[in-house]
Amino acid sequence: MPIRQFQAQRMHAPRDFQPIENKPVCVEIGAGKGKHALLFSGQNPQFNLIAVERTREKFLAMQKQHQIEGQQNLTTLHVDALPWVVHALYPHQVQQFFILYPNPEPHNSAQRWLNMPFFEFLVSRLQVNGSITLASNIPEYITEAEQQLKEVWNLPFEKQVIEQDSARTHFEIKYLERGELCQQLIITKPEYYKTRFDEFQPLQGQNLSVEKMVENVNAE
């Protein structure tokens, strides 16, 4: 399906937005109660992970567990991912994105990650050879994402079946216990890959007029 261009300059900053440094990070979108974020940061002290969750109840559960475990390389944020990414992240900054068991949007396929214009912006934040891990227990979701990667985004990927003993998220544990097929796509960004947002700097919380922001983008 055709994808229109994402209008990054129209994104308003999240409430209480705080800028971040332009240094390599990993980002988990829709981190839920933080099971994967806590595991990953504990097992990979060489990476700094930012775990983003929009739902307050889930975020508070993640925050509480993080306070108990105390990983210094994990930052948890209660925020909507799209405006935060636009305002916070720099081009080519992210080493890995994790999108594990996102809402399949059964009644609005345009809101699935690889069907959204925003996906191009997300890729622009990724380092060369960086990766996006997209996991789902819905075969049709994975099949559609594969098709979009081939026909729209032209990005290389590896499709993997998730092992039965994997336990990265509460959803993953539940689905595997039910005997459901869980799969993931490991999407990588090759050196040659270009997006229309490769020079787009983070808005850093500025809520300028649309006209002024368009001027700024065109001037870059």
> What would the DSSP string read from start to end of 76-141?
EEES-HHHHHHHHPPTT-EEEEEEES----TT-GGGSGGGSTHHHHHHHTEEEEEEEEEEES-HHH
pLDDT beyond 50 at 125: yes
Query: Tell me, what's the pLDDT at 210?
Result: 37
Helix/strand/coil percent split, the chain, to 5: 35, 20, 45
Q: Which of 88-92, 104-108, 134-138, 213-217 has the lowest mean pLDDT?
A: 213-217
Percent of the chain surpassing pLDDT 70: 91
The more confidently predicted of residues 8 and 77 is 77
The more confidently predicted of residues 14 and 193 is 193
pLDDT beyond 60 at 1: no
Average pLDDT, the chain: 91
* Tens digits of residue pLDDT in 147-174: 999 999 999 999 999 999 999 999 999 9
Whole-model pTM? 0.91
What average pLDDT does this structure show over 125-136? 98
Query: Tell me, what's the pLDDT at 207?
Result: 55
Query: Tell me, what's the pLDDT at 129?
Result: 97
Nearest alpha-carbon partner for 35 in 66, 12, 77, 7: 66
Cα–Cα distance for residue pair 173/37, rounded to 1 Å:
15
The total of other beta-carbon atoms located within 10 Å of residue 93's CB is: 20
For 24-219, which CATH class? alpha beta
pLDDT beyond 60 at 59: yes
Amino acid at 213: M
pLDDT beyond 90 at 2: no
Query: Tell me, what's the pLDDT at 39?
Result: 97
pLDDT beyond 90 at 215: no
Domain boundaries, the chain: 24-219
